[in-house]
Amino acid sequence: MPERDVTVGQLLLTEYQTLKDEQKARIGFRDNLLYVTLTVVAAVIAAAAQAKQSSMLLALPPVCVVLGWTYLVNDQKISAIGAYVREDLGPRLTRLAGTPDAPCAFRWETDHRTDARRRSRKAIQCMVDLTAFCVVPLAALVLFWAAGDGGGLLVAVSVLEALAVGGLGVQVVSYAGFAASE
């Protein structure tokens, strides 16, 4: 039998490291999206107030929907990587190590999920996400509607924006993962 230069275990550990690097990069990108959103919101509100043009507030919903969706997609990929490591890669490495009855090779991937406050943190994070990406743009729309200085086309656009923001809100809640296994 020919000697192997690379073992299956080495390949799996390389896969693990590559996945963790991707996860780390996605976490940084995802978290920065909240700061970008806050900056854009402040800039649009300041510009609308300075110009005394409530119609400028119509820029917030599409920006928040795009940033919110990007945030959500990255968050889902971060969770998917964690699930893959917990449910597939870790157990394969554990079996390969010859200890199939031992806990998963990467205990942190499962242990940190058993914290008693996990559900409350997830609920608070969901509220933060909803506030940043949905409540703020909906408030901008309410201010636009209350100002009453939009023409028929702008009102129609604002209604479509409200529907898009509502759709994002549904997705934020559905991806929040309140189930104990998530």
Enclosing domain of residue 123: 8-175
> Among all chains, which residue has been given the structure tokens 């043009």?
53
Could you tell me if residue 81 is inside a domain? yes
Could you tell me if residue 47 is inside a domain? yes
Residue 4 has pLDDT above 80, yes or no: no
Could you tell me if residue 126 is inside a domain? yes
Ranked by mean pLDDT, which of 93-97, 156-160, 175-179 comes out on top?
156-160
pLDDT digits (tens, 9 = 90+) for 96-154: 887 766 666 777 777 777 788 888 999 999 999 999 999 999 999 999 999 988 789 99
What phi-psi label fits residue 2: left (phi over 0), alpha (psi between -120 and 50 degrees) or beta?
beta
Could you tell me if residue 169 is inside a domain? yes
What phi-psi label fits residue 98: left (phi over 0), alpha (psi between -120 and 50 degrees) or beta?
left
Confidence of residue 165 (pLDDT cuts 50, 70, 90): very high
Could you tell me if residue 1 is inside a domain? no
User: What single-letter amino acid sits at 151?
Assistant: G
Could you tell me if residue 150 is inside a domain? yes
Could you tell me if residue 87 is inside a domain? yes
Could you tell me if residue 141 is inside a domain? yes
Please tell me the distance from the alpha carbon of residue 179 to that of residue 134, in angstroms, as a whole number.
23
Domain count, the chain: 1
pLDDT digits (tens, 9 = 90+) for 35-92: 999 999 999 999 999 999 999 999 999 999 999 999 999 999 999 999 999 889 988 8
Average pLDDT over residues 169-174: 96
How many whole angstroms from its chain centre is CA 59? 21
